[in-house]
Amino acid sequence: MSGLLALLDDVAGIAKVAAASIDDVAAHAAKAGSKAAGAVIDDAAVTPKYVQGIDARRELPMIWRIARGSIINKVVILLPVALLLSAFAPWMIAPLLMLGGAYLCFEGAEKLAHALGRGGHHGEDSTGDTGDPVHLEETKVRGAIKTDFILSAEIMTIALASIPAGAPVWMQGAVLLLVALAITAAVYGAVALIVKADDLGLMLARSDGGALIRGLGRAIVRGMPRVMVLLTVVGTAAMLWVGGSIILHGLEQMGLGAPAHLIHNIAAAAAHLGPEGWHGTVEWLVTALIDGILGLCLGLLLIPVAEHVLAPVVALFRGAANERG
C-alpha cells in the first residue's frame, strides 16, 4: 500500500511539473506572438489580395491551401532551422532578427510611399488573368506561399529571440510549434472571415429576416472596404513600430545601447508631464512613436537600395536560372 501511495505521489509530482512546463510554454508563446504583431498583421492584410478575381466557390479552398503551405513553411522548414541556430550559432539570431526588422521597415515605408503615389508596391500581384482559372489559382497560391515564407521567417525569428536564454531544446521547440500553429490559425481564420464577409453581407441584405437583418447586411457590404483600409493602415504602422523596435533592441544587444536609452529617457520625461495614472501608457506610446519614426526613416533609406541594388541582382540571377532551364 505504501508503495502505491509513493507511486501516486511521484505521478502527482510529475503532473505538477508538466503543468508548470505547459504554463511556461504558453506564456513564452503568448509573449513571442505579441512581439510578432507587425508581421502577423501584415500577413493578414496581404493575403486577401491573392483571392481577388477568383471564383467565390474557390476562395476558401485557396485559403486552406495557402494556410497549409504556411504550416509547412513554419513547422517543417523554419522550426528545425531555428532550433539548429539556437543550438550551434546563437550569435546569428540577433543579426537575423535585425535583418527581419529592416525588412519590416522597408515593407512599411514602401507601402506608405505607394499610398502617397510613389511607384508600385514590390509585392503586388503581377500574374494577371491568363484565361485559365486553374493556372491562375495555382500561380496565386504559389505567390502567396512565397510571401508567407518571408513573413513566417520573421515571425519564427522573433519568437525564438523571445524565448529566455538557456531554455531546454524541447521547450524552444514547443514554443515555436505553438506560435506557428496559433498564428497560422489566427491569420488565415481572419483572412477567411474578411474574404467571405462580403458574401455574408449580401446574403443578409437579400434575406427575408426583416429590415434589421437586411440593414446589417448592407452595413457589412459598405463597411468591408473601410475595414480593409483600416487593416492596411494598422498593419503598416505596426510594421514600422515593430521593425524600429527590433533594430534598436538588436543594437542594444550588440553593445550599442545609447539610442535605446535615449528614447527611454525621452519617453519617461514625456510620461511625467501627464497625469500620474497614465505614466505607463504615455511612456509606451511615446516609445512606440519614436520607434515607428526611426523605422520609417530606415525604410525610406532602404527603398532606393532595394530598387537600384537588390532588384537588379535578383533579376540577374533569375535570368541566369531561366537560361539554364
The set of cell numbers assigned to 182 is 496559433
84 domain-assigned: yes
Start-to-end CA span in the chain (Å):
74
Q: What gap in Å lies between CA 297 and CA 311, rounded to an integer?
A: 20
Q: Is residue 182 part of a domain?
A: yes
Cβ neighbours for 186, distance < 8 A, ≥ 6 positions apart: 40
The answer to whether residue 13 sits within a structural domain is no
- Phi/psi-derived region of residue 117, left when phi > 0, alpha when psi is between -120 and 50, beta in every other case: left
Does the residue 14 lie in any domain? Answer: no
pLDDT for the residue numbered 44:
65
pLDDT at 30: 58
Task: Report residue 317 as a C-alpha cell.
Answer: 540571377
Residue by residue, pLDDT tens for the chain (325 residues) are: 444 334 334 434 433 433 344 455 555 555 555 555 556 665 666 667 667 667 777 888 888 999 999 999 999 999 999 899 888 888 888 888 888 889 889 988 998 888 887 755 554 444 445 557 778 888 888 888 887 887 788 788 878 877 777 778 888 888 888 888 888 888 888 888 888 888 888 888 888 777 888 888 888 888 888 887 887 788 788 888 888 988 998 898 888 889 999 999 999 999 888 787 888 888 989 999 999 999 999 999 999 998 888 778 877 777 765 666 5
pTM equals 0.70
CA-CA distance, 267 to 248, in Å (whole number)? 15
Q: Tell me the C-alpha distance between 263 and 285, whole Å.
A: 12
User: In which domain, by residue range, is 186 found?
Assistant: 25-324
**Grid cell locating 144:** 502567396
Phi, psi of 113 (to 5 degrees): -65, -40
Evaluate whether residue 156 is within a structural domain. Answer: yes
Domain-embedded: residue 10: no
- How far is 18 from 109, CA to CA, in rounded Å? 45
Domain count, the chain: 1
CA dist., res. 130 & res. 142, Å (int): 15
In a domain, 239, yes or no: yes
| pLDDT at site 289 | 94
Give me the helix-helix angle, 56-71 and 169-205, nearest 10°. Answer: 170
